[in-house]
Amino acid sequence: MRLLNLFKIATKAIILNKTRTLLTMLGIIIGVASVIAMLAIGEGSKESIRTSISAMGSNMITIKAGADTRGGVRQEASVMESLTLSDYEAIKAQSTLISYSSPVVEGRGQVINGSSNWPSSIYGVNPEYLNIKVVGLQSGSMFTDAEVQTASKVAVIGQTVVENVFPDGEEPVGQMIRFNNIPFKVIGVLEEKGENTFGQDQDDVVIAPYTTVQKRILAIDHLNQIMASAISEEKAPEAVLEVSNILRVQHKLTDSNDDDFTVRSMEELISTFSSTSEMLTILLVAVASISLLIGGIGIMNIMYVSVKERTKEIGLRMAVGGKGSDILMQFLIEAILISITGGVLGVLLGLGATVFIEKFLNWPTSVALYSIVISFAVCAVTGIFFGWYPARKASALDPITALRYE
């Protein structure tokens, strides 16, 4: 009841000073709106940075057979035959943090088409390989799971191979090539990807079903690698641990045994990604807090002036029975109302600005719900925090002095 009355008094005071209230609110409105727009732009940029870093295959995980010692001689990892298809199947079946996975067998050889030939590498994989490497097809199509099952002699080739074995600019899709004298039908051409960070040409590849490569070219039944991608960059380190645990069980390793395999993620890319987004977040939070602080100071300023200006009114209210706490609450409610109303208007303006930026400037934006919740909460807190001092001052006035104040 008493609080309701004070609420009415405060509302009345705000309505009586429309212009001044609106000007005060402007600080908060602009503060909140810029926070929301900033965070929306920030989230949008983060999103697009995430996409472009992901395009480098930053969430990729590679599993290789580990080095081992045989009869006192350290063996090269690639010699080991400990990684098998059942390991791949176990990872695929049990892992929860892996979105794509593919067995990998690889070999080198000569690609031949008529009179042209070119030394290249062949990778035996499954169709998910393209998703893991984040590479698309320029023309044609990827082979299917059914073609993997039947060990079909089909291949997808990279740009460098195309240039060297189809020098006359023929359309490679549908043509037959030979790899180490085994005929393959070209069914697709990969997009150009350029060199990787170590200067290796990523376009100098022939991709075929792993079953075909195992049986027809390498005559092996183990795998050289398993490639996978974690569901996100952040989850990659966890995924590495998960895969290791699955493989330890799979390889029946006891606690005293070391891993006979290695699982690696793209540490460098991941740390680039997380440090970039961290920096963006810090920057945005800094901008946001500064604008809200300024808005808050605006409120304190006006409330302070308001208390001075209304000293006589405060004196009267005290004379007719207003307690110090009533006066304190009145001014506090006023400050909170101003900041919350400003907050609501600011959220609306911010959303409007975001739509504008997206539509007319074509910047990627993404409005995060948390930015609305946070800026709104900060608004309310700002109202209380910056309204407290002037309200406190008003409530501590001596009624006699206040009444005589001119």
Residues 206 and 293: their CA atoms lie apart, in Å, by 59
The answer to whether 11 contacts another protein (rule: CB under 8 A) is no
In the DSSP assignment, the letter for residue 195 is B
Q: What is the largest CA-CA distance in the chain?
A: 109
77's tokens: 């990892």
The answer to whether 405 contacts another protein (rule: CB under 8 A) is no
Least distance from C-beta 390 to another protein, angstroms?
A: 19
Least distance from C-beta 8 to another protein, angstroms?
A: 7
DSSP for 43-68, written as a single string = HHHHHHHHHHHHTTTTTEEEEEEPPE
Contact criterion met (CB below 8 Å) for 50 and 276: no
Which position among 31, 322, 387, 390 is part of the footprint of another protein (CB under 8 A)?
A: 322
Nearer to another protein, 137 or 403 (CB): 403
344's tokens: 């609501």
Q: Residue length, the chain?
A: 406
Which position among 108, 264, 308, 323 is part of the footprint of another protein (CB under 8 A)?
A: 323
Least distance from C-beta 25 to another protein, angstroms?
A: 20
The answer to whether 334 contacts another protein (rule: CB under 8 A) is no
Positive or negative: CA dihedral 386, 388, 394, 398: negative
Which position among 8, 108, 308, 359 is part of the footprint of another protein (CB under 8 A)?
A: 8
Which residues in the 374-403 window bind another protein by CB under 8 A? 399-400, 403
The answer to whether 20 contacts another protein (rule: CB under 8 A) is no
Which residues in the 291-320 window bind another protein by CB under 8 A? 312-313, 315-320
The answer to whether 16 contacts another protein (rule: CB under 8 A) is yes
Nearer to another protein, 146 or 400 (CB): 400
**Residues whose CB is less than 8 angstroms from the CB of residue 77 and which lie 6 or more positions away in sequence, other chains included:** 64, 65, 66, 67, 262
In the DSSP assignment, the letter for residue 225 is E
The site for another protein (CB under 8 A) is made up of 1-2, 5, 8-9, 12, 16, 312-313, 315-326, 399-400, 403
